[in-house]
Amino acid sequence: MEKAGKGRRGIDGHTLLAGVIGWPVAHSRSPLMHNWWLEQYGINGAYVPLPVAPGQFDTAVRGLQAAGFRGANVTIPHKEAACRIVDRLHRSAQRSGSVNTLVFASDGKIEGYSTDGDGFVANVEAHGVSVKGGRALLLGAGGAARAIAASLLDRGVAVVMANRTRARADALAAMLEGITVVDWEQAGDILPSCTMLVNTTSIGMEGAARARFPLDLAQADPALVVCDIVYVPRQTALLEWAATHGLRTVDGLGMLIHQAGLGFEKWFGVTPVVGPEVEALLDADLHHPAADGAG
């Protein structure tokens, strides 16, 4: 859909409402992004932070639905609770084992989606990288890793996973057929045969982190693409290390933006264009002294 034009009316009885549920949630950049899109497309809508304490999630969601909200994003610590409350679980959420987007349908049902995996793929492809076939080494075995692994497997990418606690990676692989698990210390042995390296751990945020990765980028194929889903800092220790070896890198900010688009379209009826303007908006906010690195 084309832009309806910049500018929108103030909040009134016809305003379309959505938000992000989390605890805490004040740090979220989602309101900045969604409200900027609403402004750009001239939509009478608002997207608000919704701080919901643990144990209050179901009550809050039912209240939002009753109050006429169109839906909400879900972040830590409520993603498991979101899986339990939905009436219709989209395949993306089934595959990823988590829900980060709720849609309150016109028939009174709650629909659950996971946009993390497809958001990751869209970001990589926006950087000119084809995500089809090849072999990816994923570091980490949390919810984001499962969502990304599912989206890569769906595109014919062979996925090898390494996690500091092997049992957690084994458990994930048991739930998502097609993943090969190796010990954390053996990840370096796999790297030379990989076309993509994806870090989903917090190591990427640490300044002196390269020694904590179980691999040597000097052994990588020159065509390796190195991705980090962390976006504060945008150039993580891993990405800086990869750049010194001349490897192509993809930071995590675009994933944040792309994964937001599905919910926006579902709630507000417009598929937002992910372009340099919204990226610059978020990048500037992340460089603000108060920026703390959460999404």
Q: Which residues are catalytic?
A: 79
Give the other-Cβ count within 10 Å of 55's Cβ.
Answer: 9
CB of 148 within 8 A of CB of 172?
no
Give the other-Cβ count within 10 Å of 277's Cβ.
Answer: 10
CB of 50 within 8 A of CB of 3?
no
Find all residues with CB under 8 Å of 48, minimum gap 6, and list them. Answer: 17, 18, 19, 20, 31
Report the alpha-carbon distance of residue 170 to residue 172 in Å, rounded: 5
